[in-house]
Amino acid sequence: MKTILLSFSYEWYSYLRTGEKIYEHRKRFCKDPVLAYLYIGVPLRQIVAIVELGSPILIEKWLDEYKNDSAALERIEDCLTRNKVAMPILRFQEITPIDIREIETNNNGFRVPISYMYLDDKPQLFEDISSRVELIGKEIKHQFNSVTSDKICRC
């Protein structure tokens, strides 16, 4: 499994922490499951969690799967105006926040990605981040064997 640094919006972070958000939606994403260090920009500027994301699902496929649920269809169609894929959030674990300014100082030339960056081909950066990880709180795991339509294209 590849490892990435994933930029994430502050406004959606609370939904991850509560377990309410079970899919991450993006225009494009990695083709395979990934382990992601989650970076929250302004106002935090910190790496705050580790998230395991499953293989992407084409959101347009949900149009057929949920065709008899008008509320779900409305959310799916709205989501498709901004995104193409949804990745199942398999697990979420908060960590003691890591200040990104320290990472930038230790890794000359490093800049936080707009979307995501692979860490596997940046061993010094990967080591700097992973060596600072201290797990906190309870891990959240999601099961996807029976996802109801009310969980589709939320958050």
Q: CA-CA distance, 151 to 132, in Å (whole number)?
A: 34
Query: For 49-84, how does the pLDDT look when each residue is reduced to its tens digit (9 = 90+)?
Result: 999 999 999 999 999 999 999 999 999 999 999 999
Mean pLDDT to the nearest integer, 88-94: 97
Ranges of each domain in the chain: 2-57+85-143
Query: For 107-124, how does the pLDDT look when each residue is reduced to its tens digit (9 = 90+)?
Result: 988 999 999 999 999 999
Residue 67, both tokens: 């065709």
Q: CA-CA distance, 75 to 150, in Å (whole number)?
A: 10
The fold of the 2-57+85-143 domain, in CATH, is: ph1033 like fold (3.10.590)
Residue 134: pLDDT above 90?
yes
Please give the model's pTM, rounded to 2 decimal places. 0.92
Q: CA-CA distance, 123 to 26, in Å (whole number)?
A: 26
